[in-house]
Structure 1
Amino acid sequence: MQDQSHSHICSLIPMHKLVPQSATTFVYQAKLAKILCNVYLTWCKRLTNHDLTITIDKPSKENYYTCKIDLKNTQCWGKKGLKSFDIVEGTRVDIFWDFRQAKFSSTSSTSSSSEPCSDYYVALVHGEEAVLLVGDLKSDAYKRTRSRPCSDEATLLHKKENVCGKRLFCTKAMLNYGSKRGEHDIVIENSLSGPGDPEMWISIEGTVVIRIMNLNWRFRGNETIMVNNVPMEIFWDVHDWLFSSPESGHGIGLFIFKLGTLEEEANATDFDSRNFSDFCCNGTKHDHVVDSPKNTSDFCHFLYAWKVE
């Protein structure tokens, strides 16, 4: 896929108004009171704020429910809580959380990730069942919520991540979603200055799987690789890394990692500019309710890579 026209991904966004920050959104589909809803968990870290926003969408409805948790709260009681609401009349849904002992992995010598790596839980409970449970303290969550595992647990649809870097961009992607191996380390490295032509490398678990030479001509494209004998499509669009003007602000590259191929999703990059801006700036609701995936290969990891100097 070699389209040399400027993509709508970044060109429609007022870049000078955007401020890079660490943000990761997980989009789940859950059944609440027999209604399929999209549940968004957005971990967002700014210079002065660090929070988790949980948003529940109802299809064909304008209203939605939001719960915001301050992860920077220095008071222990502020890191454990409960919020309840009615998804439909007379049907209560509870959100429980505990971040009192949560640990965050370091992304650099001076900062840590927006999402905890251990010692926490977030539970969405309906009808004595934990419809959605994230975190490693599952036993504590079931005990506190007096719930049991749900027979129809939530499905992870997408992971959308916002990262900043100069030459290196690191992330973790569920390349074999549903297996015991979990997430894999991915590193994107670029060489955009120097005597030679600009290049880009994409590595998975320390092995280079894609090398793009003459990046100024191949700034947009896709390739299929094999991961654990399963095909995976990697799509990239780094036009603004190379051609954005200084006054436009930070150049943003888009990467999509998807099991299978993108042949049936030719319009995968036709994002609404307002939704993209909402995600990058606010880390809030930014998607429409999507249909239930046909299989686990429909899971996608979207990586928005901000190139800063």
Structure 2
Amino acid sequence: MRDFPSCFGESGVQISDSSSSSNRASQNLVTCLYKTELHGCSCTITVTWSKSLMGQGLSIGIDDDANQSLCKVDIKPWIFSKMKGSKGLEFGKSKVYIVWDISAAKFGSGPEPLEGFFVAVVIDHEMALLLGDLTKEAYRKTNANPPPSNAMFISKREHIYGKKVYCTKAQFCDNGQVHDIAIECEAVGLKDPSLEIRVDRKRVMQVKHLAWKFRGNQSILVDGIQVEVFWDVHNWLFGTPGGNAVFMFQTCLAPEKSLPLAFSQVSRESQLAGIGFSLILYAWRNE
């Protein structure tokens, strides 16, 4: 196993960020990045789902291949009238049309809808990104030209909660199986805590003597794909009571590849290098 800090550059910074000191309201969000083509050039679409006492929120941003923002739309949390709608804008000579319908969506415990919805990003009458299962409704509402979007899902960041077990779902390749991921760690009050990760209830990784190995990485296989797992549980063991642990699952990661600090940098690096999909989890302990 490689030394964990060396995976994050010469300075040895960890993947933890300032979110460890933020309040729970700001943590209830999921950010997804998609890579697609625009006029023959690569661009990135960032979709952020949020949830608050006012309802669900949605933010969509489009960046070019030089990481320059082309446009951004913030759809504030809605309770009544904003469950469906559309927004149009322009950048350069291109016209962007964003249409959404979450009125019949089903949600789990998080802010991201599970089914019964669509979100469409249309650029110059072409479907650049289509999310959700109501595809026919999306094409009818947008009048976009087929074929469907060829956008590639490259990165996801989310916050998960638990006392001993932290669960989420992930799909590590296009059209691949959606897997249940469970991270189990009982670190409070134990002299020799350990960490266990299961995929579809099968244990794929175990870290013993966690107090000595609170940061590290290990390779696992999912759907025949090599997935590099990074963990940083320093805050759980030695930090403040409200601190979070951070986990990252990265597909197709070259052994010598160094990973940067921020999520946006990780996603950007993944996009440029074409190294597949990354899932970043901020795990918070419910007191």
Coarse TM-score class (shorter-chain normalised)? 0.7 to 0.9
Structure 2 SS opposite 1:43? strand
Change in 2 beyond 3 A, CA 1:31/1:260? closer
1:79 paired residue number: 83
Structure 2 SS opposite 1:241? helix
Match of 2:199 among 204, 222, 232: 204
Match of 1:141 among 138, 143, 159: 138
The separation in 1 between residues aligned to 2:253 and 2:265, in whole angstroms, is 24
The separation in 2 between residues aligned to 1:113 and 1:180, in whole angstroms, is 22
Tell me, yes or no, if the aligned pair for 1:28 and 1:156 is still in contact at 8 Å: yes
2:36 paired residue number: 30
Q: Does 1:300 align with 2:283?
A: no
1:138-177 to 2 correspondences below 5 Å:
138-150=135-147, 153-175=150-172, 177=173
Which residue identity lines up with residue 252 of structure 2 in the other structure?
A: G
Q: Does 1:52 align with 2:30?
A: no
The separation in 2 between residues aligned to 1:41 and 1:116, in whole angstroms, is 12
2:239 paired residue number: 244
Structure 1 SS opposite 2:192? coil
Where structure 2 has 5 or more consecutive residues not aligned to the other structure, the ranges are: none
Where structure 1 has 5 or more consecutive residues not aligned to the other structure, the ranges are: 106-111, 277-284
CA deviation vs aligned residue, 1:107-150 (integer Å, no higher than 9, x gap): xxxxx221000110011112332111000000111111112334
Change in 2 beyond 3 A, CA 1:10/1:255? closer
2:3 paired residue number: 2
Q: Does 1:222 align with 2:217?
A: yes
Structure 2 SS opposite 1:117? strand
Q: Does 1:98 align with 2:90?
A: no
Structure 2 SS opposite 1:133? strand
Tell me, yes or no, if the aligned pair for 1:259 and 1:299 is still in contact at 8 Å: yes
The separation in 2 between residues aligned to 1:16 and 1:226, in whole angstroms, is 33
Aligned-residue Cα RMSD (Å) equals 2.8
Change in 2 beyond 3 A, CA 1:140/1:252? same
Match of 2:229 among 225, 231, 234: 234
2:122 paired residue number: 125
Tell me how far 1:174 sits from its aligned partner: 1.4
1:193 paired residue number: 188
Q: Does 1:271 align with 2:271?
A: no
Tell me how far 1:193 sits from its aligned partner: 2.5
Identity %: 32
Tell me, yes or no, if the aligned pair for 1:2 and 1:218 is still in contact at 8 Å: no
Change in 2 beyond 3 A, CA 1:197/1:288? closer
Tell me how far 1:42 sits from its aligned partner: 0.6
Q: Does 1:178 align with 2:174?
A: yes
Tell me how far 1:239 sits from its aligned partner: 1.1
Tell me how far 1:292 sits from its aligned partner: 4.4
The separation in 2 between residues aligned to 1:218 and 1:31, in whole angstroms, is 41
Tell which deviates more after alignment, 285-294 or 148-157.
285-294
The separation in 2 between residues aligned to 1:62 and 1:52, in whole angstroms, is 20
Tell which deviates more after alignment, 286-295 or 191-200.
286-295
Q: Does 1:69 align with 2:72?
A: no
1:261 paired residue number: 253
Which residue identity lines up with residue 2 of structure 1 in the other structure?
A: D
- Higher strand content, 1 or 2: 2
Tell me, yes or no, if the aligned pair for 2:31 and 2:158 is still in contact at 8 Å: yes
CA deviation vs aligned residue, 1:70-96 (integer Å, no higher than 9, x gap): 453223xx211111111323x211111
Which residue identity lines up with residue 81 of structure 1 in the other structure?
A: G
Q: With CA pairs under 8 Å and 6+ residues apart, which has the higher RCO, 1 or 2?
A: 1
CA deviation vs aligned residue, 1:194-236 (integer Å, no higher than 9, x gap): 4551111111001111111111111111111222332221111
Change in 2 beyond 3 A, CA 1:116/1:15? closer
Tell me how far 1:299 sits from its aligned partner: 1.3
Structure 2 SS opposite 1:217? coil
Tell me, yes or no, if the aligned pair for 2:98 and 2:120 is still in contact at 8 Å: yes
Change in 2 beyond 3 A, CA 1:144/1:17? closer
1:281 paired residue number: none
